[in-house]
Amino acid sequence: MTYQTLRVALDGDSADRSYDILTGPGLIDRVGELALPVARGRTAFILTDENVAPLYLGRVQFSLTAAGFNVHHLIVAAGEQSKSFGTLETVLNAMLDARCERTTLLVALGGGIIGDLAGFAASVLLRGVDFIQIPTTLLSQVDSSVGGKTGINTRHGKNLVGTFHQPRLVIADTDTLSTLPQREVLAGYAEVAKYGLIDDAPFWDWLELHGPEVVALSPSPLALAIHTSCTAKARVVAADETETGVRALLNLGHTFGHALEAEGGYGGPLLHGEAVAVGMVMAFDLSAAMGLCPAEDARRVRAHLSTVGLPVVPPKINGAAMDAKALLHHMAGDKKVKDGKVTFVLARGIGQSFLSREVDPADVLRILEQAVS
Residues in touch with ligand NAD (CB under 6 A):
49, 51-52, 55, 78, 80, 83, 110-114, 116, 136-137, 139-140, 143-144, 147, 149, 158-159, 176, 179-180, 184, 187, 272
Q: Which is nearer to ligand NAD, 120 or 284 (CB)?
A: 120
Q: How far is the CB of 95 from ligand NAD (least distance, A)?
A: 20
Q: Point out the catalytic residue in the list 83, 254, 300, 330.
A: 254
Task: Say whether 83 is catalytic.
Answer: no
Cα–Cα dist 91/118, whole Å: 8
Is the CB of 243 or the CB of 323 nearer to ligand NAD? 243
Rounded-to-integer distance, Cα 267 and Cα 4, Å: 34
The answer to whether 303 and 284 have CB atoms below 8 angstroms apart is: no
Q: Does residue 73 have an active-site annotation?
A: no
Residue 343 assigned to a binding site: no
Q: How far apart are CA 141 and CA 157, in angstroms?
A: 24
**149 annotated active-site:** yes
Question: How many CB atoms lie under 10 A from the CB of residue 57?
Answer: 17
Least distance (Å) between residue 288 CB and ligand NAD = 26
Annotated active-site residue 33? The verdict is: no
* 185 or 324: CB nearest ligand NAD: 185
Is there a binding annotation on residue 254? yes
Quick check: is 227 catalytic?
A: no
> Is residue 48 marked as binding?
no
Of 139 and 288, which has the nearer Cβ to ligand NAD?
139
- 349: alpha, beta or left? (left if phi > 0; alpha if psi -120 to 50): left
Tell me how far, at minimum, the Cβ of 26 lies from ligand NAD, in Å: 14
**Is 191 considered catalytic here?**
yes
* Shortest distance (Å) from residue 167 CB to ligand NAD: 10
Residue 5 counted as an annotated binding residue:
no
Among 208, 243, 299, 369, the one annotated catalytic: 243
Of 135 and 221, nearer to ligand NAD (C-beta) is: 135
What are the φ/ψ torsions at residue 129 (nearest 5 degrees)? -120, 165
Tell whether residue 103 is among the known ligand binding residues. no
Q: Considering the candidates 72, 251, 261, 330, report the single residue annotated as catalytic.
A: 251
The single residue of 72, 83, 247, 302 carrying the catalytic annotation is 247
Binding-site annotation: residue ranges for Zn(2+): 191, 254, 272
Binding-site annotation: residue ranges for NAD(+): 136-137, 149, 158, 176-179
Active-site annotation, residues: 127, 149, 191, 233, 243, 247, 251, 254, 258, 272
